[in-house]
Homo-oligomer: A and B are copies of this chain.
Amino acid sequence: MLTALELIGIAVFAASGALAAVRARLDVFGVIVLALTTALGGGLTRDVLLGVHPPTALVTWPYLAVAGGTGLVVFWYHPTVAKLRRSVLLLDAIGLGLFVTAGTTTALLLGTPEYTACLIGVVTGIGGGVLRDVLLREIPLVLRQEIYAVAALGGALVVVLGHVAGLPAGPVSILASALIAGVRLLALWRRWNAPTAPKLDG
């Protein structure tokens, strides 16, 4: 079941990358490259930080097929997909939840300290989107708006606390993923934003 959910997360992130690439007028290959980068970038970064060589994403062909195939589908059908913007935001929030949870769990299983696992989980969740935005010359969305990073960190904390308390991993993962997705969607729905600094004089 976790694998199925992971593949959904990959498809969702791939769709967000592909849509952003279509908006930037990239050609079909650019769209596929950006779909792959957005969907797999977070996991690649996690594996490079943890020393997993070669990274899981590069040796698991279903991940590649789902990410690339999603990019192609978005390229051909993007007007429809664009109209589904709300669905994409919903799925994107679910993808964030799944990726943060999976990244934190992977780091814990490899024996990293708890706070390190939290950080690596957050990096896994946000890494793909950061790469997408940097390649398209945007300031990464996660830096600019909404309670994105905090939702991710909160969910990673739930995974770690469950691990420390010896709770079963399955239900804790589902709870953490739902928490991240829920907070993220609430922030979008209610237009929650964190404070920005008052205007700079200098």
Contacts and interface: CB of A to CB of B under 8 A. Distances in A.
A143 B135 contact: yes
Interface residues of A, number: 63
Contact of A135 (B23, B134, B194): B134
B22 A197 contact: yes
Given A85-B202, A201-B79, A139 B139 contact: no
Q: Count the copies.
A: 3
Interface stretch (A91-99, A109-117, A157-165, A175-183): A109-117
Contacts of A29: 143, 147-150, 194
Contact of A55 (B49, B53, B78): B49
A120 interface: yes
Contact of A59 (B26, B113, B150): B113
A54 B137 contact: no
